[in-house]
Structure 1
Amino acid sequence: MTRTVSFLGLLTLTLLTACSDTQSVPTVSGSAERFAQVALVPLQAGDTPGSVARALDGTILEWNDCISGQCSALVGLNQRPGILSAQALGPLRGRDVSIESNRDVFKGGTLLANMGGKISMWAGGKISMWAGGKISMWAGGKISMWAGGTYAALPENTGLWQKIGLEEGQGLAPQLGAGVTVAVIDSGIDLQHPAFQGSLSAPDTWRDFYADDAAPQEEGVFGEGAYGHGTNVAGIVLQVAPAAKIMPLRVLGADGSGDVVMVAQAIDWAVTRGADVINLSLGSGESSRVVDRALERAAASGVLVISSAGNENAPAITYPASAASRKGLDGTSVSVGSVDLTDLKSGFSNYALNLKMVAPGENVYAPAPDGQMAAWSGTSMAAPMVSGSVALALGAGADRKELAKKITDKAHDVYKDGANAPYDGQLGKKGRLDLPAFLNEVLD
Structure 2
Amino acid sequence: MPEKRHSINIWLYRALTLLGLTLLAACGGVSRPTTLPSSDQGYLLTVPIRASDSPESLAQRYGGEVIAWLEDKAILKLSTQAATALQGSGVSLQNLVLEADSLTRAPELSTQGFSSWAEGWSSWAGGWNSWAGGWSSWAGGTSSIPVLPNDNRLEFMITKVPQGQAIARNFGQGIKVAVIDTGIDLNHPMFVGRLAPSNEWRDFVDGDGNPQEVSGNMYGHGTAVAGLVLQVAPRATILPIRALSPDGSGTTSNLISAIRHASESGAHIINLSLGTTDNASSLKNMVDYAIARGSYVVASSGNTGDQTVHYPAGWAPGNKYIISVGSVSPTLNLSSFTSFGTSLEILSPGEAMFSAYPDSRVGSFTGTSFAAPQIAGVLALAMSDTASANWGNLESYLLQSAVPDADGSYKVANIAAKLQRLPDFQRKNALFVFGGSKIGSSDNALVNRLTQLGYAVTTRSDSSATATDANGRHLVVVSATATRLGATVFRNVGVPVVVWRPDIFDDMGMTGTTTDQFGSSSGQTQATVTSTIHPMGAGMPAGNYGIYTSSDVVTWGRPGSSANIITLLPGSSQATIFGYDTGAQMVGLTAPARRVGFFLATNQGGKLTRNGWNFFEAAITWAVSGN
TM-score w.r.t. structure 1 length? 0.78
- 1:295 equivalent to 2:287? Answer yes
Q: Is the 8 A contact 1:316 1:351 kept in 2?
A: yes
Letter in 1 for 2:23: V
Corresponding residue for residue 59 of structure 1: 64
Letter in 1 for 2:311: Y
User: Where do residues 148-187 of structure 1 align in structure 2 (5 Å cutoff)?
Assistant: 152=147, 154-187=149-182
- 1:196 equivalent to 2:191? Answer yes
CA pair 73-283 structure 1, distance change in 2 beyond 3 A: closer
CA pair 343-150 structure 1, distance change in 2 beyond 3 A: farther
Corresponding residue for residue 97 of structure 1: 96
Letter in 2 for 1:380: S
- 1:406 equivalent to 2:397? Answer yes
Q: Is the 8 A contact 2:148 2:162 kept in 1?
A: no
1:210 to 193, 205, 224: 205
Q: Is the 8 A contact 2:309 2:341 kept in 1?
A: yes
Deviation at 1:41, TM superposition (A): 2.2
2:415 to 435, 438, 443: 435
Task: Map Cα deviations across residues 83-126 of structure 1 (whole Å, 9 max, x no partner).
Answer: 8687x323x25x2221112132586x8xxxxxxxxxxxxx7335
SS in 1 for 2:323: strand
- 1:39 equivalent to 2:45? Answer yes
CA pair 150-63 structure 1, distance change in 2 beyond 3 A: closer
Q: Unpaired runs of 5+ in structure 1?
A: 13-33, 110-122
Deviation at 1:153, TM superposition (A): 5.8
CA pair 324-63 structure 1, distance change in 2 beyond 3 A: closer
- 1:125 equivalent to 2:116? Answer no
Corresponding residue for residue 395 of structure 1: 384
Q: Is the 8 A contact 1:338 1:359 kept in 2?
A: yes
Q: Is the 8 A contact 2:145 2:234 kept in 1?
A: no
Q: Is the 8 A contact 1:164 1:435 kept in 2?
A: yes
Corresponding residue for residue 336 of structure 1: 325
Question: Within 2, Cα distance between the matches of 1:85 and 1:257?
Answer: 28
1:219 to 177, 190, 214: 214
Question: Within 1, Cα distance between the matches of 2:243 and 2:120?
Answer: 27
Deviation at 1:77, TM superposition (A): 2.6
Deviation at 1:128, TM superposition (A): 9.1
- 1:259 equivalent to 2:264? Answer no
- 1:382 equivalent to 2:371? Answer yes
CA pair 49-171 structure 1, distance change in 2 beyond 3 A: closer
SS in 1 for 2:41: coil
Task: Map Cα deviations across residues 181-236 of structure 1 (whole Å, 9 max, x no partner).
Answer: 11001110000111101000111111111111001000114xxx211000000000
CA pair 73-160 structure 1, distance change in 2 beyond 3 A: closer
Q: Is the 8 A contact 1:182 1:276 kept in 2?
A: yes
2:346 to 357, 375, 378: 357
Task: Map Cα deviations across residues 53-84 of structure 1 (whole Å, 9 max, x no partner).
Answer: 5665x4213363xx32x143413232684586
Letter in 2 for 1:188: G
Q: Is the 8 A contact 1:206 1:247 kept in 2?
A: yes
SS in 2 for 1:89: coil
Question: Within 2, Cα distance between the matches of 1:219 and 1:85?
Answer: 38
Task: Map Cα deviations across residues 229-265 of structure 1 (whole Å, 9 max, x no partner).
Answer: 0000000000000111100011000010111111112
SS in 1 for 2:90: helix
Question: Within 2, Cα distance between the matches of 1:393 and 1:291?
Answer: 27
Larger radius of gyration: 2
Letter in 2 for 1:381: F
CA pair 134-315 structure 1, distance change in 2 beyond 3 A: farther
- 1:275 equivalent to 2:267? Answer yes
Q: What's the % identity of the aligned pairs?
A: 31
Corresponding residue for residue 238 of structure 1: 230
SS in 2 for 1:62: strand
Task: Map Cα deviations across residues 17-52 of structure 1 (whole Å, 9 max, x no partner).
Answer: xxxxxxxxxxxxxxxxx9332111224466676775
